[in-house]
Structure 1
Amino acid sequence: MNIARHLALIDELCFRPFPAEHGPSDVGDGGPGHHVVVLERSQGDCGARAATVEQYEKYRDALYELLALRWGETDPYNLQSVLLRTAREEIPEPWASLSARARVAHLWEAQGTGRWVAVAVADQDEADDVQLLAVVTEIDPP
């Protein structure tokens, strides 16, 4: 993991304009009011999935330590409760799709930007690669 590169990308996304429509971008995916980037991606080795999840959680926590120095310590944000809410209410993007992909995120309001930053490990879909994600959005968490 190149933590300096990941932090630089998160910093850039805190000021980059959002795309007008949902779709891929040069750094990941996005849509009105949000960017979603894959910082790290496993390469489909199912036998090592548990070890990959554990490693990516360590990467997420390392990013948390550095971002917490900037924006303060926060409690983990329970995305499973957000996922449960999608069955009975409209949850805005990127929160609805993030809750389907990850169980927990570290989340901050990035001071001076009007944006939220979340870092999470996407491991909910056994058929998909494990991913370390960063989300930058102007949409308040549900």
Structure 2
Amino acid sequence: MTTAESGSLSSVALEEYLSLIDELLAQPFPQVNLYDHTGCGGPQHRVRILRASQEFWDDDDGEAAREAGAELRAYLDALIAALTARWGEPLVVDLLPYLRAGLEGEAVSEPINCLSQLAGSVQAWPHPDLGRWLGLAVGQGDKELPLELLAAVGQTLPPERSVRSVGRS
């Protein structure tokens, strides 16, 4: 499901998204960088668009973007609740330091580099037994572009300075 559909998150949709997330965690990473309508990936990461809103070229008052944002945040919250029940509280990764670092020419590992250009933070669950982590975020490339519910898998979690547990400040 990568297009906007009306209605709230059904249990069927939630199960479908959780299945896609499980697949992302299990799939090998692509050997070369790739981009398509479902997301992107490379040697140490993969980003999947789980759901996308419409574009906002004609949304002069911002109402359509606010409604789409609320809908995608509801999807994100439902997924966070389901994954928290499975794996415990997520870490919250502040992506702003990575966006700044990338803009200053520093190397930023993927998928953090990609996510930092779309979202302000990501909810992340480390999976040390798999040598991976999973992250969820809602992001947008520009105000006219669709909002996207994103699932990302990477090998290297960001440094502790920008990561905090949900229950702590």
Q: TM-score, normalised by structure 2?
A: 0.76
Name the counterpart of 2:126. 109
Decide which structure has the larger Cα Rg and report it: 2
TM-score, scaled relative to structure 1: 0.89
Q: How far 1:12 sits from its partner (Å)?
A: 1.0
Partner deviation per Cα, 1:45-88 (whole Å, 9 max, x = no partner): 43400111122112111111111112211342211222122234
Query: Given the alignment of the two structures, is residue 10 of structure 1 paired with residue 26 of structure 2, yes or no?
Result: no
Residue 86 (structure 1) aligns with: 102
Shift, 1:27, TM fit: 4.7
Listed as ranges, the gaps of 5+ residues in structure 2 are 1-8, 160-169
**What CA distance in whole angstroms lies between the structure 2 residues aligned with 1:61 and 1:77?**
16
C-alpha separation in 1, matches of 2:153 and 2:145: 22
Q: Does 1:19 align with 2:30?
A: yes
Would the alpha carbon gap of residues 81 and 54 (structure 1) be closer, same or farther in structure 2, given more than 3 Å must change?
Answer: farther
- Report the alpha carbon displacement of residue 94 of structure 1 after superposing the two structures with TM: 1.3
- Quote the offset at 1:128 in angstroms: 1.4
Residues paired across the two proteins, number? 142
Q: Which residue of 2 aligns with 1:77?
A: 93
Report the equivalent of 1:63.
79
Residues in 2 aligned to 1:97 and 1:119: alpha-carbon distance in whole angstroms: 13
Percent identical: 35
- 1:13 is displaced (CA, Å) by 1.2
Kindly indicate whether the alpha-carbon contact (under 8 Å) linking 1:71 and 1:110 is maintained by their aligned counterparts in 2: no
Residue 139 (structure 1) aligns with: 156
CA distance in 2, matches of 1:130, 1:114: 29
RMSD value, Cα: 1.9
